[in-house]
Amino acid sequence: MPVLNLSFAACGFLGIYQLGVVGAFLKHGQKLLNCVEACAGASAGALVAAVLVTAPDKVEHCKEFTYRFANEVRRQSLGAATPGYDFMSALREGIEEILPLNAHEIAGDRLHISITHSKTRKNCMVSSFATREDLIKVLLASSFVPLYAGIKAVEYNGQSWIDGGLTDSLPILPVGRTITVSPFSGTQDICPPHTGVANLNLKLANMDIIFSRDNIVRLNQALFPPAESRMKMIGRDGYDDAVRFLKKENWFH
């Protein structure tokens, strides 16, 4: 069997789409998951990858947290950037709730997280975690959008790190085939189908997306989450798109 990996794109609150994809994999894609050697991700995609690798039984819990978190952000007058609102603290709370105590041991070499050095703006992929706290810090660093999520970058290993999506928003692992998942229409293996006529592709930090009105709306929703009913629909779209992929590639059961 060829080596298979999964990679989840940076996408803010549209991580709910990717949780829908993971739900479909767990229900109908065990044949595929049994062949997957590693999962990669940036920002929200890294969080989804971490759940799949270390706590697949917590996917529903993770969805509920995402809805709660989005509702909280929506209530703020300026969203996550509202003065006095601690976005990173709320995110840490959710991660703490979901990751098992030995998450760092399970994740070693199976989870690859994209982060960006705050000074050099160089990308770094982290796949080894000395402690659970190290894993949490790397996940927080990968999700830290400067100004949006706060002022102070995340400290890890004595250096400051920010959002991995700024430099590599959809990591491709060097060995084998990496199956890519994104809530933006584009060339990814699993993504929403493009419905418009125009077919202009843009490359955003290594992710190919189509320049379309739908994707502009999605980019806005990534940072400013839509109503919970809409988020649930986006999650169902992820589930349906994943089922379509599994059937096309003969992984469905």
Catalytic residues: 43, 163
Given CA atoms 142, 100, 107, 15 in this order, what sign does their dihedral have? negative
Which stretches of the chain are DSSP H helices?
A: 15-28, 30-33, 44-54, 59-75, 87-98, 103-107, 132-142, 213-223, 228-248
Half-sphere exposure of 144 (CA within 13 A, CB side): 25
Q: How far apart are CA 184 and CA 221, in angstroms?
A: 11
Q: How buried is 108 (Cβ within 10 angstroms: 0-12 exposed, 13-18 middle, 19+ buried)?
A: middle
Q: How many CB atoms lie within 10 A of CB 230?
A: 13
- Please state the separation of Cα 203 from the chain's center in Å: 18
Q: How buried is 94 (Cβ within 10 angstroms: 0-12 exposed, 13-18 middle, 19+ buried)?
A: middle
CB 21 within 8 A of CB 7: no
Calculate Rg over the CA atoms of the chain. 17
